[in-house]
Amino acid sequence: MNDETVLLGHGSGGTMMKRIIDEVFAASYGSEELAQGDDAAVLPAPASGERLAFSTDTFVVTPHFFPGGNIGRLAVCGTVNDVATSGARVKYLSVGMVLEEGFPMDDLRRICATIAETAREAGVHVVTGDTKVVNRGHGDGIYINTAGVGLIPAERSLSGAHCKPGDKVLVSGTMGDHGIAIMTQREGLSFAAPVESDAAPLNHLIAEVLEAAPETRCFRDPTRGGLASTLNEFAAQSGVDIVVREDDVPVKDVVRGACDMLGYDVLQVANEGKMVCVVPADQVDAALAAMRANKYGADAAIIGEVAEASPERGPKVYLQTGFGSKRILDMLVGEQLPRIC
């Protein structure tokens, strides 16, 4: 295909649309299922007793390319991780594109190549998709929607409602990397050390933790709203308190410095390649070792524990600060950094 930019005709349903599907999308991440060309992918049914996990997400990040990835990597990682938090083996993805007329075709090819590379890393197949093109000036280049399907073993049940007093809270690595990477790129900021997005598919890490600690209560990826919002969701779902030790939460010095300069609470900054999990105390060492053995969990840490909630106050999340005091760690209110994913 010789077109240098996306044109309205590429979303027309005719020969131009067939060309962009065949020569850009299918050429990058085509699969046997996608090659069937039908309106619905026909996939193998789950084995007896297994359940389906399904999730969808839409990605509108700006800029489209940033240190550590691009919108294509986010689109795959975000949905793979959401499905994997259920304990499912992630199998299939759909990829829907909303393109703006005039979007550079070379940029689209780069994004599609990243989708293919990230899907291969996660071990998932892109099996169906959709393409729409909007008028120039009405779409900010590219938006991507992905949906994912996975299979949950019959005996597995993970939920934020399963946390119990005495359980331990772990994170798989440093907090705030993605949000600060996007901000520095967007605002043209520079620091002594580079800041890169942590976008990564974590389905293999989750599977390894579950093998080592089969009684794990739940997983969640702390994306928008960061660690603070995720922990508050767990506390509310389970009706418990969660106590986090500030000094035990891993944060890169450059990210902490950027947050101090910009006035952000690093525990409320978005992550795209980190996982929070809650495990029973007697399995926490095994879970931590499994995380640290994975390349995306080298900086994993135990950061706190679950406690009984006060009947008067209700479930809360508390942060034990480095100064010895204790404060409530609230969910993010409002939009700290729009267009982050």
pLDDT digits (tens, 9 = 90+) for 185-239: 888 887 878 899 999 999 999 999 999 999 999 999 999 889 999 999 999 999 9
CA–CA separation, 75 and 129 (whole Å): 13
- Decide if 133 contacts 100 (C-beta within 8 A): yes
Residue with tokens 């952000």: 264
Query: Quick one: pLDDT at residue 203?
Result: 98
- Cα–Cα separations (whole angstroms), residue 167 to 72, 111, 150, 181, 254: 36, 41, 27, 32, 31
- Cα–Cα separations (whole angstroms), residue 335 to 43, 58, 232, 317: 39, 17, 17, 20
What are the DSSP calls for 222-251, one per residue? Answer: --TTHHHHHHHHHHHHHTEEEEEEGGGS--
- Decide if 200 contacts 296 (C-beta within 8 A): yes
**pTM of structure:** 0.91
SS3 state at 156: coil
Instruction: Point out the residues of the chain with pLDDT beneath 50.
Output: none
The amino acid occupying position 242 is I
Domains of the chain: 8-152 (3.30.1330.10), 160-328 (3.90.650.10)
Query: Quick one: pLDDT at residue 40?
Result: 66
CA–CA separation, 28 and 19 (whole Å): 13
Peptide bond into 63 cis (omega under 30): yes
Query: Quick one: pLDDT at residue 42?
Result: 73
Query: Quick one: pLDDT at residue 234?
Result: 95
